[in-house]
Amino acid sequence: MPFLVLGLLLWVGAHIFKRVAPVRRAELGTSGRGLIAALIAAGLVLIILGYRAAAFVPVWNPPAFMVHINNLMMLIAVFVYGMSATTGRLRGKMRHPQLTAVKIWAAAHLLVNGDLASIMLFGTMLAWAVAEVILINRAGPWERPEPGPAKKDILLVVITLVMFGVITAIHTWLGVSPFPG
């Protein structure tokens, strides 16, 4: 569990640093990007190692039907995340598509994982995404980008379905089947 906690602290701290200490972040200059990226990467490695090594400590027992809700929420999360890269009509419909996707992802996983390590991981990621949105919104107004062609949104749907398939395949490969049965 210590690796998980340290990883989460690094992840959150490195991501929020420029929001809570913009002057200090600016003092680091462009070389600071490498440092922040290294801290985020180290945090991610520690999160993965810590989560995989954490003892299973049950906190609550999620009902079986939550798996279906989780899968639907995950499909939505992948789509919303993809909105950040689209140049279609959906561009500009949402200010924080990546952070919104993280919130959906975290909430979905909290519905199906009732152990302490999962609650720590997904709960922290949910709290981090909420905090980031608040900090970004307080920093200033948003200039909504102009929408592009609708055909790009169709491409987003196709990419979403492919990515969802890849994600479920990786989960299955890791021994966590998203479609138990």
Report the pLDDT value the prediction gives residue 88, as an integer from 0 to 100: 86
Q: What is the pLDDT of residues 80-98, one digit of tens each?
A: 999 988 888 888 889 999 9
Using pLDDT thresholds of 50, 70 and 90, give the confidence band for residue 46.
very high
CA-derived radius of gyration, the chain: 18
Using pLDDT thresholds of 50, 70 and 90, give the confidence band for residue 180.
confident
Q: What is the pLDDT of residues 114-141, one digit of tens each?
A: 999 999 999 999 999 999 999 999 988 9
Of 18, 38, 20, 19, the C-alpha closest to 28 is 18
Residue appearing with tokens 């890791």: 174
Report the pLDDT value the prediction gives residue 25, as an integer from 0 to 100: 84
For the chain, percent of residues with pLDDT exceeding 90: 72
Residue appearing with tokens 């920093």: 139
Strand, coil or helix: 58: strand
Q: In the chain, what are the domain boundaries?
A: 1-54, 57-181
Using pLDDT thresholds of 50, 70 and 90, give the confidence band for residue 29.
confident
CB 18 within 8 A of CB 25: yes
Report the pLDDT value the prediction gives residue 181, as an integer from 0 to 100: 65
115 forms beta bridges with 58
> Residue 81: which region, alpha, beta or left (left: phi > 0; alpha: psi -120 to 50)?
alpha
pTM of the model: 0.91
Of 140, 66, 74, the C-alpha closest to 102 is 74
Report the pLDDT value the prediction gives residue 145, as an integer from 0 to 100: 86
